[in-house]
Amino acid sequence: MDKRLIDIDKVVEYIEERMKSADNTEELWRLQCKLVDGHFDSDPIPLPTIKPGDKVRHEIHGYGTAHGLGNENILVAFNTLQHALIVPAKEVEVVE
């Protein structure tokens, strides 16, 4: 089964509406608590483990060297460009 992202606020709103007239409000309340507490949150997207100095490859910009790292972005000096670019970490791979 494919994973899907959902809008928890919409689900909670739906449950709250059903709780107004439902016979089983306790079970709906438990479900709402699990949703709000993040019980069904999707797994975090794994980011590559890149460190400064690593040689990397980007699909569009080609090969380069990683220089700075952020939470989700990397500063890369690409061989084909005269300046470095900040690119999403998920768009580069470490090469030997």
Confidence (pTM): 0.50
In a domain, 33, yes or no: yes
Q: Are residues 88 and 62 in the same domain?
A: yes
Q: Are residues 37 and 64 in the same domain?
A: no
Number of independent structural domains in the chain: 2
Q: Are residues 31 and 67 in the same domain?
A: no
pLDDT for the residue 57: 94
pLDDT for the residue 62: 93
Contacts of 76 (CB under 8 A, 6+ apart): 56, 58, 61, 64, 65, 66, 67, 84, 85, 86, 87, 92
pLDDT for the residue 55: 95
Distance between CA 47 and CA 94 in Å, rounded?
Answer: 12
Q: What is the pLDDT of residues 18-57, one digit of tens each?
A: 777 767 778 778 878 888 888 777 777 665 578 899 999 9
